[in-house]
Chains A and B, each alone.
Chain A
Amino acid sequence: MPPEARPPSGCPAALEARHVSVRFGGVQALHDVSLEVHAGQVTGLIGPNGAGKTTLFDVMTGLHHPDSGQVVLGGQDVTGLGPHRRARLGVGRTFQRLELFWSLSVADNVRVGAESRVQWWRWDSVRRSIRRYGTNSAGDPGSLAFGAAAVNALLDRVGLTGLGDARTDALSTGSARRVELARALAIGPSVMLLDEPASGLDDAESSALGGLLTDLARDGMAVLLVEHDMDLLMRVCDTVTVIDAGTVIGRGTTTEVRDDPKVQMAYLGMAAPAGRAGGSDR
């Protein structure tokens, strides 16, 4: 399967990396990597540890400037924009190593995400956010714009109902990952990059996450998913891109990628039999 064989659909990509290369000292972390993430689809990104997945995330979200190549968001070249500008343009992400605001409660974590959208110097922006998210609960004078109802709705969505007042540092890894997801959703993203969201989750949680991701894509969001949980990937992804040692070595539908011997060699290891993942439900 040639790497560029299958453009996922006719419409332009929501977020796109074009020929991105990154070098750390003597190590070529990414070499001429191109990747498209389309609205309404879940795109999988897999590869062995150290393949460059997180580096690619950093490049796409603006935390790292590529040595060459471009990042294009909805047709606009955003290569020169910093991370917060891209977030405001609708790029949300979570982290492989959790990056929560550990001193804040679960609800406040989500609020920080939501409030970053409000332009305080523009009254219509403030008013719109007030109307959109409902009025404040009486016990919380601080949150002018983002009411408890909206926070709770997001927490419900990721399966953290009733945990708004909980301390983040007391959460399990699985719950903490969902707080990150809720926080990223709160910025109202059109593209969501998820870095191993299922690690630390049990089977039931992982399956609920899969359902949520499918729902987000159905609502029109473009989702890019880095994950080692093959079952989850096979279940939710529309297309999968495989990178190894900083280079794209394969891409296609889940079935195509699964059956690609080159991918099996690089990612699943030599010992993996060809039919190992044959029981996929797709």
Chain B
Amino acid sequence: MWNFLSYTLIGIVIGGGLAISASGVVVTYSTTGVFNLAHGAVGMVAAFTMWELSYNPAHADLPVLAGVAIVLLVEAPIVGLLVEALFMRRLHGASTERVLMVTIGLLLVLLGITQAVWGGETSRVVTSFLPGTSVHVGPAGGGVSITGQQLLTLGVAAAAAAGLFALLRWLRIGMAMRAVVDDPELLAMAGARPVAVARMGWVLGCFLAALAGVLLASALTPLQPLQMSLLVVNGFAAAAFGRLRSLPLTFLGALLLGLLDSYAVGYLPQWSFLQYAPEWLPMALLFVVLLVLPQDRLRAVGRPVVAVVPKVAGLRASLLGAAALVAASLAAVAVLSGTWLTTAEVGVVYGLVALSLVLLTGYAGQVSLAQLTFAGVGAYMMGRVAGGGSWLGVLAAVGVSAALGAVVAIPTLRLRGLYLALATLALAQVATFAFFVPEIDEQAPVTIHRLGFFGLPLDTDGRQEVLGAVAFALAGVLVLAVRRGTFGRRLVALSDSPVACATVGLDVKLTRMGVFTLSAGIAGLAGALRAQQVILNSSYFDLTTGLVLLLLLAIWGVRTVSGALLAGLSLATLDILSSHAGWVGQIPGLAVGAGILLLGRAPNGVLGLRLDQAVARALRGRMPSGGQGIADAAGGGKADAA
């Protein structure tokens, strides 16, 4: 009995924290139309700043209250204003995919900055704001205890709810905030300034993010950037519960979610995938909520602001590009060694995953954040079928991943745009914690033999790299052939106007299922190749890596095959660079930051800037001299495939 009460109380407290965070997501989304995947990262930066101001043992001189005040009243608003001015203002009217990519980019930049400033091995401890205080109910030795910090969290959540209610109901700016999403121009005519309202949306959103970050810091101590940034992901389920718009429902959703999480900890058995239920349960709930909620009906969208579409390479050009890539990969074996060869080897395989995204996101306009999950399934199959590391395993990897793609496509057929992205995000998290962690990380490592090819063992990094390049080349030719054919036209049509597709007799659902299946199959192939390169680990297939890959693809050009190759190679290169100390380690963050600034202007990414030919020309006279050189040379060879 007391146990149950205790778990209930803990659940309510968790719900309170989630509510503050999720309500920030809702406020920003409902005033600016931007679903901020970087919301948690803003809170994370706030927590680290607070530690620096008030808890850093080296110079902890500010009282906690002053530190918190500075974080909430100075830093959070400034972050909000900066984000609005630098990244978001330009995105008005942009597609859901682009907006999502920019917030993913923001998440990575904030992570990068935090790791640059507060990196290293230092353990950063934040203690409770109200140490030693607690309220105890019931008999000594049993009963229910609640700490001062927990009470404070609950109180702040209630205050936030009341404050938001008052703001949106009674204040002029609040009413304008509710009106702005529907029709900014109309609002402008009515005398309010949409920019001011959007700024307010970002400032308030960041304030709530920071508030949650500061309150939860002591519970999550020592602070870890990634964990804190992704904490809010659980809040997305609460936000989805309120259809991303209703604050009362969001609070209710957060409460239910908190309770569910707490009961899962308390009562679920501790075996197999169930022991990670607290991690994946909220995500499973997000998935279900998205499926159950009524969706926007299929409806006409009218004439959008369209970017110039990259030209599709013909058969001859794509074959030439493929040959050039294979030649470049052979040259790389001769020229490169050690880390750089490994980078090229890993890069082409990530490129293959990116290629599956070109099909799905670039052509068909379906944002999937779970593409690496399919690669993970492929890798798992590769290890399990026929003793591990056989061509049969490759076949199984492609087949099972493709089938899984179809299975995932069925429930998500109704979902589009942001909702689909969130559902796939949930899927990626569930797959990681309910499957990859217990089934890969916690099992004895499986040795996966490297493939042979007609008696030739592909047992060196060089041969693996060539294998990956050949796989990419073949898949690239296939993807371009699909794009030129009937199915490809349908995919692009689907992306441009689902409603028009339906009225010319196209089965929208079947087409979507087809593209999900095909792209999951390609990702599964990539997973099978990856499985031979490393001892498997869930982190190769987790959400963050997937987000980075998708973002890099968007930066290079989401509709281009060469962009996929460059994205894969960039991901591998960034991995290497970020492990360097000093300024070299900062390059990835800076590059990504520059990339998202670009994305605000150039929807087709770098390759859409028509720089590709220039790069190819410039590199033609130069021998590749490093991993990045190979990347560019291969990209140059494939540039006409853009």
Residues of A with Cβ closer than 8 Å to B?
A: 61-64, 82-84, 87-88, 91-93, 95-104, 108-109, 111-113, 115-118, 120, 141-145, 167, 169, 176, 180, 183-184, 186-187
**Does B502 lie within 8 Å of A141, measured CB to CB?**
no
- A104-B304 contact given A61-B503, A64-B297, CB 8 Å threshold: no
Chain B residues touching A, range? 20 to 34
> Residues on B close to A: CB < 8 A?
297-304, 306, 308-309, 314-315, 484-486, 488-490, 492-493, 495-497, 499-508
Cα distance A175–B134 when bound, in Å?
73
Asked if B504 contacts A116 (CB within 8 A), the reply is: yes
Which 4 residue pairs across A and B have the least CB separation, nearest first? A87-B505, A83-B502, A116-B505, A142-B484
Contact A99 B300 (CB under 8 A): yes
Set of chain B residues within 8 Å of A167, measured between Cβ atoms: 308-309
Q: Is the CB of B499 within 8 A of A84?
A: no
- Which of B315, B484, B503 sits near A87, CB closer than 8 Å? B503
B506 in complex: contacting residue of A84, A91, A120, CB < 8 Å: A84
User: What are some 12 contacts across the A-B interface (CB < 8 A)?
Assistant: A63-B298, A88-B505, A91-B503, A97-B301, A99-B497, A101-B500, A103-B492, A104-B492, A108-B492, A116-B504, A143-B486, A169-B306
Q: For residue B501, which residues in chain A have a CB less than 8 angstroms away from its CB? A: 84, 112
Instruction: Name the residue of chain B whose CB is nearest to the CB of A115.
Output: B486
A141 touches B315 (CB 8 A): yes
B484 CB contacts on chain A under 8 angstroms: 141-142
- Known contacts A63-B299, A102-B496: A183-B504 contact under CB 8 Å: yes
Q: How far is the CA of A167 from the CA of B508 in the complex (A)?
A: 24
Which of the listed residues A145, A169, A184 has the most CB atoms from chain B within 10 Å of its own CB? A169
Shortest beta-carbon distance from A98 to chain B in Å: 5
**B504:A142 contact, CB within 8 angstroms:** no
B96 CB to nearest chain A CB (Å): 16
Evaluate contact between A142 and B489: CB separation under 8 angstroms.
yes
Compute how far the CA of A97 lies from the CA of B506 in the bound complex, rounded to whole angstroms: 20
Minimum Cβ distance to chain A for residue B258 (Å): 33
Q: Is the CB of B299 within 8 A of A112?
A: no
Least distance between A71 CB and chain B CB atoms (Å): 14
Q: How far is the CB of A163 from chain B (nearest CB, A)?
A: 17
A184 to B486, CA, bound (A): 17
Kindly list chain A residues whose C-beta atoms are within 8 Å of the C-beta of B497: 99-102
Tell whether, in the assembled complex, residue B298 and residue A101 are in contact, meaning their CB atoms are under 8 Å apart: no
Per a CB cutoff under 8 Å, which of A87, A97, A104, A145 touches B504? A87
A270 to chain B, nearest CB (A): 28
Chain A residues positioned under 8 Å from B496 (CB to CB): 100-104
Known: A63-B299, A102-B304, A104-B492. A116 touches B506 (CB 8 A): yes
Please measure, in the bound complex, the distance between the C-alpha atom of A184 and the C-alpha atom of B505, giving whole angstroms: 10
Q: Is the CB of A102 within 8 A of B500?
A: no
Please tell me if the beta carbons of B504 and A184 are within 8 angstroms of each other in the complex: yes
Contacts of A142 in B (CB 8 A): 484-486, 488-489
B303, A98: Cβ atoms under 8 Å?
yes
- Cα A161 to Cα B314 in complex, Å, equals 25
Distance A97 CA – B301 CA, assembled complex (angstroms) = 8
> Are the CB atoms of A63 and B492 closer together than 8 Å?
no
